[in-house]
Structure 1
């Protein structure tokens, strides 16, 4: 069957993911290979001190992204999409979207990036004896309760961005277990919200006299492979403004970007892991057993099929180094030299690896926004050096590259050194790894572990959610891990780079200075509020 026949007979599968800077759609064939894509660039806004995207931006972005996919299909295959085998929706996890009885949003969508929930997260962590991060939906909800926000009494539904879009397209108030694990802790046995914690929360807020209890307002939890509804006729019109799309297409459970990253890197099996490194970064290690104690640096979430995962999430990764690269772009333009951004990145990144393994003493803090893992409520990007440090271009950029994964190292040191977690394979994906070998080498030094990168990892989370949609209709009797291992990836584990003793020693020296220098970052935050 040709690709055009795959599309015109409705055999193709669609995955759409809402990232923090880009909405991306990937169309795949029966063999799970990408055959077309579309995207829409967007950016969050700071409104009344909170990071958000408007409802209008969400729908315009979805429709524009899908329209761009249709243009790609038309250009490549001269046909249109009328039906599909399955669809999946994914988005950045966590955050706060609440709706009233008329399905009207009560306050602007609050994204994962907000760090205003410190009091709520601390109190819930103590109550649950479990690390509850600032960005989790339950933290946002409880912070609104602590602040006596008027809208709380009117809540009928609380969900994530992926859950919201899925609900509007299918009418189903459901969520994949991985995304749900970023709302409220999941019991790995039942693969549902932790019953004991639900009861503790309801008892805690009972004096407020709300008409709802927690489970009344949360989405139903589903695992990978479970049917999550079908595209309604109204949903088809909202997705495809051209009017060609027909309803009735099955949907897989909506998932978070962490889960789709695990799928896209074949890292849902125990003792595997992945690192996603872009605007933000996170590492996901699939555990064989629960950790011995909670840690503020480690979030416990799940794979899309409900296995326990230790997650280290960092708000900041490549934004600051991208800003530095743009400075050199400006310099080239001043000289009248034509600019190829891929070449600029390649030259600067590769040159960085000729610098000193410890960056010659130069420190970089890439905190565009606050960094909860290191206790910074706000961000101040900075370079710190003394007069005696070896300050040159290679060391400057090597320091910035180290900074992209420094906070990840702090969290993973707890897993590997204290908890003695074992991992057989870690796969990297995202923008940090676009310059071949450089991001891989830096991460290998940071984690003191071989790092693999796959050619397909560049397809990202949109491909990951498309694979989950494919699993829905093609799983037969296979587990998700086996489906990925033997059907999708067929044994391909990518190209690995192992750390060198010199790089590991240099990164360890850098990180000790980095930890000591956090007081400087805090002072900068305090100085300029």
Structure 2
């Protein structure tokens, strides 16, 4: 008896095959091997074709089944994790109408800012926990204003995971957690956000029907099963955005627990049972995977768009495209803390929420052609991403959230000792690394949703700890480098 989980990112689709009886992960894979393309038709825009994601699902599934052949009918549930805040539009025949406007697209910033003022800042924050900002609702409003003929053909607006589930099952639906990430959920009224639908003149009928985050959301239809190499009828029993799902994967379910991840974007995600919000809306609150009307657990999310994509860009554009990330880490470790005066602001992947939705652009400061090398740039890049984390985490600390212990997966940026020790040292945080991934968490979430497990704790089991990072005893060099970085940020962003 097996479970399959998918984690649909903007870089790749990751998949995991889990033995439901003992909780062991049998295979992890991804497709493609290099980052998927993001189309930027204009500066600040970011789009992907949903068929890219489906192709990734198909290829990743075939890799799973090739690596560990199993009877097609032995898979008992499928779980989906997906990149948050994207907009997918389908017509009455469930055909995609345009490329998806994904999470890091900045075209709707002004739309969200204007709605924040019209609704009233305090009212928006108390009901939505956020400004409408650059989220899914504002992206939908952009389509309404700029592509009116296409908008008239829309049957449903969807998040990326909603679309993949539709492709699998033929059933159009979403979740409360998904609505909240699109700023379509009213936390005070505990229902879809009428104040957003009314302000944006969006017909609520465009919202797909709601299903629980955990539960049977549809069954794999024969056409999809044939493409995947699986049996028809397998239940899709869980879906969630990648950051709530990452927290689930790390057993971060209860108030006071904190998860972090460092993929294309970087996130710290703290769970609370309070309707917490930042008065400046620099961090965002969303319904956690175990949110219910009676137990309204909220995940407060601090996001940095320009995280792993910064490291990837440096690798591709400093002559290191064929160099492994461990080899780059070794190269950077030979450079002293502070990269000999080089600072990198990693804000080159669209408008940043922690900077009040300003698209600052990436910056390299202090570069000396006679003294600095590739290693300096790699070190400065890793430190710059870490400094952005520290800056964002200070906002969470201002809100009273405790970040002394964070759980992370054994992947992406947290495999870099330079990056992780910089964060741990400057925030005085203990970082626990667990042997799991978002795809594994999605598989186990589906096991609970399908009734194979009696509780989430049983589903997740005792995920093994495989390492961690502690604050370094001498923080002086880190503090000095961070202060130099912060001074550069303040010169460009005077808030």
TM interval, short-chain normalised: 0.7 to 0.9
CA–CA separation in structure 2 for the residues paired with 1:501 and 1:289: 34
Contact 1:443/1:451 (<8 A) preserved: no
Contact 2:2/2:17 (<8 A) preserved: yes
CA–CA separation in structure 1 for the residues paired with 2:91 and 2:104: 24
Please point out which of 7, 16, 23 is paired with 1:32. 23
Match of 2:82 in 1: 91
| 1:518 has 2:493 as partner | no
Match of 2:462 in 1: 489
1:93 CA displacement: 1.0
Contact 2:6/2:16 (<8 A) preserved: yes
**C-alpha RMSD over aligned residues:** 3.1
1:394 CA displacement: 6.9
Count of matched residue pairs: 474
TM-score, length of structure 2 as denominator length: 0.85
CA–CA separation in structure 1 for the residues paired with 2:177 and 2:332: 34
SS of the residue aligned with 1:175? coil
Give per-residue Cα distances to partners, 1:47-105, cap 9 Å, x unaligned.
5324222243233222222222222124xxxx553341111122111111112223232
SS of the residue aligned with 1:260? helix
Please point out which of 3, 6, 17 is paired with 2:7. 17
Contact 2:177/2:213 (<8 A) preserved: no
Please point out which of 296, 301, 313 is paired with 1:311. 301
SS of the residue aligned with 1:60? helix
Give per-residue Cα distances to partners, 1:194-227, cap 9 Å, x unaligned.
x4xx222333244xxxxx622x122334444322
Give per-residue Cα distances to partners, 1:253-299, cap 9 Å, x unaligned.
32211122112222122111111102211110112423264333101
Deviates more, 1:507-516 or 1:265-274: 507-516
Give runs of aligned pairs for residues 105-504 of structure 1, distance below 5 A. 105-126=96-117, 127=119, 128-130=123-125, 131-132=130-131, 134-147=133-146, 149-187=148-186, 193=191, 195=192, 198-206=193-201, 213-214=203-204, 216-240=205-229, 245-291=230-276, 293-306=278-291, 307-325=297-315, 330=320, 341-352=324-335, 355-356=336-337, 358-372=338-352, 373-374=354-355, 378=359, 380-385=361-366, 396-416=377-397, 418-423=398-403, 425-429=405-409, 430-435=411-416, 437-454=417-434, 456-457=435-436, 460-474=437-451, 477-478=454-455, 480=456, 482-483=457-458, 488-489=461-462, 492=464, 495-500=467-472, 502-503=474-475
Structure having the higher helix fraction is 1
CA–CA separation in structure 2 for the residues paired with 1:366 and 1:183: 25
Contact 1:70/1:80 (<8 A) preserved: no
Contact 2:8/2:81 (<8 A) preserved: yes
SS of the residue aligned with 1:102? coil
Q: Structure 1 pair 317/132, CA: closer, same or farther in 2 (3 Å)?
A: same
Q: Structure 1 pair 323/422, CA: closer, same or farther in 2 (3 Å)?
A: closer
CA–CA separation in structure 2 for the residues paired with 1:390 and 1:300: 44
Contact 2:342/2:376 (<8 A) preserved: yes
Q: Give the unaligned 5+ runs of structure 1.
A: 1-10, 207-211, 332-338, 524-529
Contact 1:428/1:440 (<8 A) preserved: no
Q: Give the unaligned 5+ runs of structure 2.
A: 292-296
1:365 CA displacement: 1.8
Q: Structure 1 pair 111/361, CA: closer, same or farther in 2 (3 Å)?
A: same
CA–CA separation in structure 1 for the residues paired with 2:317 and 2:183: 42
CA–CA separation in structure 1 for the residues paired with 2:56 and 2:71: 20
Give per-residue Cα distances to partners, 1:286-325, cap 9 Å, x unaligned.
1242326433310111321122011011111123334444
1:366 CA displacement: 2.3
SS of the residue aligned with 1:320? helix
TM-score, length of structure 1 as denominator length: 0.80
CA–CA separation in structure 1 for the residues paired with 2:477 and 2:451: 47
Match of 2:294 in 1: none
CA–CA separation in structure 1 for the residues paired with 2:51 and 2:313: 29
Q: Structure 1 pair 376/122, CA: closer, same or farther in 2 (3 Å)?
A: closer
Give per-residue Cα distances to partners, 1:207-253, cap 9 Å, x unaligned.
xxxxx622x1223344443221221223312433xxxx221212113
Contact 1:25/1:462 (<8 A) preserved: yes
CA–CA separation in structure 2 for the residues paired with 1:164 and 1:12: 24
SS of the residue aligned with 1:21? coil
